[in-house]
Structure 1
Amino acid sequence: MKILYHHRTASKDGQAVHIEEMIEALRALGHEVRVVAPMAEDQSGQGQMGSDMGWVHKLKALMPKALYELMELAYSWVAYRKLMQAARDFQPDVIYERYNLFLLSGLMAARRLKLPLLLEVNAPLVEERSKHSGGLALPWLARWAEGTAWRGADRVLPVTRVLAQHVWDQGVPPQRVVVIPNGINRAHFAQAPSPDEAKSRLGLQGRLVLGFTGFVRDWHGVDRIIDWMATPHAPTNAQLLVVGDGPVRADLEAQARRLGLADRVAFTGVIDRDQVPAHVAAFDVALQPAVTAYASPLKLMEYLALGKAIVAPAVPNLLEVLTDGVNACLFEEGRPGQLEAALTRVCEDTALRERLAQGASDTIDRLQLTWLGNAGRVVALAQEAAR
């Protein structure tokens, strides 16, 4: 098939991983993919994960919020012209778009070209932006744009069943909604070192490594991990390794110094994406202390792929993938002491860690959590929609 792939993402973070992996997987299956996107041809900084669209945030801060939102909607016309130009040359069979708020160009082009539109949805952005970043100036317009995009697509592809409920609530028929969670690229993790070798490379021999990957924010709960490490319940050789960076890094480092744990809490800072498996391989316990209610966390897929004992909250979106005692040690979110009790349990019980690690590794095959598998499902849905 010829797939015209459209997105409005310019950041180099988890969003970029999803985009790049899906495109690569579609091409690996023998399909042609033409990308239409901001900076689509700009490969500067490729591989550097954790950076953000600084220029966008600066522009947003300088403009009245309502004007910025109208500009987002107006961008749909800019992207529509790009899509139509690409379609004339490429002659696609389907349009695949990564949903973004106020972005209607994929729907506009699909209707004009009489092509099926597959819309990947990673978040209910009206809800998300209403709660964060100072809210929305034009919520009525945002709700209209989101509903129009979701209802207009031939297939809507949310990443969790929790998110699918948001889509159904907008009036999209269930038969047009197919959940496709995030996945992993097996080749990306095939060359990861053994845990002992990974620890040796990082100078962590003899440590019980608790690991977290990603851009650390205040709601992630990493501060609770550090507090627990200062208690008698934590092994004296426990080491926290944060693979990434984030706005609360300085606060967490200060907390560790205050508790006498400065030498047992380490941040790698932003690293190349290709280096992530070699760091995660060193984890004995992989941490997902908190999660957005509708997300399919990429870090969770990486933990599973490398066979790590996972500690995570027992919330609906994670329960789509995790089972307590099988591939994770789950705790009840919101109950004081539950996270800490789970940490103590998994750190004290070597046999439990080994059992969870094996269960985690088996999960990838059992649930087919790979980008190649996702790409195959997308192509099948596109062919179905085209018929």
Structure 2
Amino acid sequence: MNDLKILYHHRTASRDGQSTHIEEMISAFRAIGCTVSIACPQVDTRDASGGSGGWVGAIKSLLPKHLYELAELAYSWVAYKRLVSMINVAKPDVIYERYNLFLLAGVWAKRRFGLPLIVEINAPMAQERRQYGGLAWPKMADWAEHFVWRNADYVLPVSRVLADYVIGKGVAADRVVVIPNGIREDQFAGLPSVDEAKARLKLTGRLVIGFTGFVREWDRLDRIVRWMASSDRYKNTHLLVIGDGPARAEIERCAVDQGIADRVSFTGAVRREEVPAISMAFDIALQTALVPYASPLCLFEYLALSKAIVAPDQPNHHELLTDNVDSVLYDPNDDQGIERVLDRLCGDANLRDRISVQAGRVIASKKLTWIEHARKIVALASRAIAAKTEQTSR
């Protein structure tokens, strides 16, 4: 049933990994024959930095926390009116919603129109905001989160770790289906060779350690800089960061202090379609420590590029990676964990080659493409539609 009419609903207004996921899923749905209508706020196309700026960031910075959360909840009414209007025009078969905290509109629309609701979950927002940003109304946040999750026909967490969390909050296990991030295969066709990519960046002859993403303090790329400067054994290494971020100035300052400023480079923000060709210059690809439930986009890109991946040893990575087979994992709690892994990989070209070859096979073996994900979601939507039809015919 690939001719479904899908109403894609989200509240994302920034240009970052969130928007990448949204755009790729919409493109994949359309590629397999679905008609997709989109209900969303206006996206700030000027912000390509990876931050969450724009009008949302402005409102958040101006309002006290308790008022901002009430404004988020009130926005559900705005979103609901938008959904009602679009449903009346587009006549969708299903609502597909990217979950966000205090966003109740999808459930309201489901109840009014009797449409199936599928909710994609990328993070446990109530827990995350309580832990990192604080919540003025934590009980209201928990209620809103559980209200959406429990009223969806299916919820699609991006990792098994997150799925277990969702089930632990009372969502029936048979309505929880893990759909991780993925890649679009055509973006990885016709790429330059490693040597060609290095030549374009004037890095010929260097052993390139690469990182892709919005660089923050907790990525601790300063550790990589200090490791590179620690011994003449590593004088051929170069740290290449594709992206930008608030930690860039500190990393560049660290490189100057360590006397290796010429061996650290940032591309700055680049268009997403340009990233694979630049990333081909990597010999070693870094996935730094992150929250235990995440499905990091760059990791899928590293796999598609057949890179020797270094990543933290944590459960969400075990869902994709096998240590010493398609990656080398390190203990994120070890002060020398990533350094020891880099010692191994930089000193052993055969190990790098073996890891790279196996990494390149993961995407196909686990079917980690947006198209495959779209097909799975359409199958779930068709099942939900059939169940609702059976209910109404009784």
Task: Please state which band the TM-score falls in when normalised by the shorter chain.
Answer: over 0.9
Residue number in structure 1 paired with 2:69: 69
Describe the superposition over 1:131-151 as per-residue Cα deviations: whole angstroms up to 9, x where unpaired. 223x11011110100010111
Paired residues of 1:49 and 1:272 also in contact (CA < 8 A)? no
**SS where residue 210 of structure 1 aligns?**
strand
- Report the Cα distance in structure 2 between the residues aligned to 1:49 and 1:23, rounded to whole angstroms: 22
Q: Does 1:32 align with 2:32?
A: no
Report the CA distance between 1:240 and its aligned residue.
0.1
- Report the Cα distance in structure 2 between the residues aligned to 1:79 and 1:10, rounded to whole angstroms: 13
Paired residues of 1:98 and 1:119 also in contact (CA < 8 A)? yes
Specify the code of the residue in structure 1 equivalent to 2:28. A
Report the CA distance between 1:278 and its aligned residue.
1.2
- Report the Cα distance in structure 1 between the residues aligned to 2:120 and 2:233, rounded to whole angstroms: 42
- Report the Cα distance in structure 2 between the residues aligned to 1:237 and 1:104, rounded to whole angstroms: 54
The runs of 5 or more residues in structure 2 that have no matched partner are 387-394
Q: Does 1:124 align with 2:124?
A: yes
**SS where residue 145 of structure 1 aligns?**
helix
Q: Does 1:348 align with 2:351?
A: no
Specify the code of the residue in structure 1 equivalent to 2:36. V
Specify the code of the residue in structure 2 equivalent to 1:19. I
Q: Does 1:23 align with 2:22?
A: no
Report the CA distance between 1:52 and its aligned residue.
3.1
Residue number in structure 1 paired with 2:389: none
- Runs of 4+ aligned residues of structure 1 deviating over 2 Å after TM superposition are 48-55
**SS where residue 179 of structure 1 aligns?**
coil
Specify the code of the residue in structure 2 equivalent to 1:120. E
Paired residues of 2:80 and 2:106 also in contact (CA < 8 A)? yes
Describe the superposition over 1:149-188 as per-residue Cα deviations: whole angstroms up to 9, x where unpaired. 1111000000000001111111001000000000000111
Residue number in structure 1 paired with 2:392: none
Paired residues of 1:49 and 1:273 also in contact (CA < 8 A)? no
Report the CA distance between 1:75 and its aligned residue.
0.6
Paired residues of 2:69 and 2:137 also in contact (CA < 8 A)? yes
- Report the Cα distance in structure 2 between the residues aligned to 1:45 and 1:124, rounded to whole angstroms: 28
Describe the superposition over 1:217-252 as per-residue Cα deviations: whole angstroms up to 9, x where unpaired. 111121111111111275211000010011111011
The runs of 5 or more residues in structure 1 that have no matched partner are none
- Report the Cα distance in structure 2 between the residues aligned to 1:147 and 1:98, rounded to whole angstroms: 15
Q: TM-score, normalised to structure 1's length?
A: 0.97
Specify the code of the residue in structure 2 equivalent to 1:246. G
- Report the Cα distance in structure 1 between the residues aligned to 2:77 and 2:21, rounded to whole angstroms: 25
Residue number in structure 1 paired with 2:79: 79
Aligned residues: 383
Specify the code of the residue in structure 1 equivalent to 2:15. K
Residue number in structure 1 paired with 2:289: 290
Specify the code of the residue in structure 2 equivalent to 1:39. Q
**SS where residue 212 of structure 1 aligns?**
strand
Residue number in structure 1 paired with 2:390: none
**SS where residue 361 of structure 2 aligns?**
helix
- Report the Cα distance in structure 2 between the residues aligned to 1:74 and 1:358, rounded to whole angstroms: 51
- Report the Cα distance in structure 2 between the residues aligned to 1:57 and 1:45, rounded to whole angstroms: 13
- Report the Cα distance in structure 2 between the residues aligned to 1:223 and 1:132, rounded to whole angstroms: 22
Describe the superposition over 1:252-272 as per-residue Cα deviations: whole angstroms up to 9, x where unpaired. 100010000100011111111
- Report the Cα distance in structure 2 between the residues aligned to 1:358 and 1:38, rounded to whole angstroms: 42
Report the CA distance between 1:332 and its aligned residue.
1.7
Residue number in structure 1 paired with 2:50: 50
Identity of aligned residues (%): 55
Specify the code of the residue in structure 2 equivalent to 1:54. G
- Report the Cα distance in structure 1 between the residues aligned to 2:225 and 2:291, rounded to whole angstroms: 21
Residue number in structure 2 paired with 1:111: 111
- Report the Cα distance in structure 1 between the residues aligned to 2:333 and 2:211, rounded to whole angstroms: 20
Describe the superposition over 1:60-109 as per-residue Cα deviations: whole angstroms up to 9, x where unpaired. 12112111101101111111111111011111110000000000111110
For residues 197-276 of structure 1, the aligned pairs below 5 Å read 197-232=196-231, 234-276=233-275
Paired residues of 2:49 and 2:245 also in contact (CA < 8 A)? no
**SS where residue 17 of structure 1 aligns?**
helix
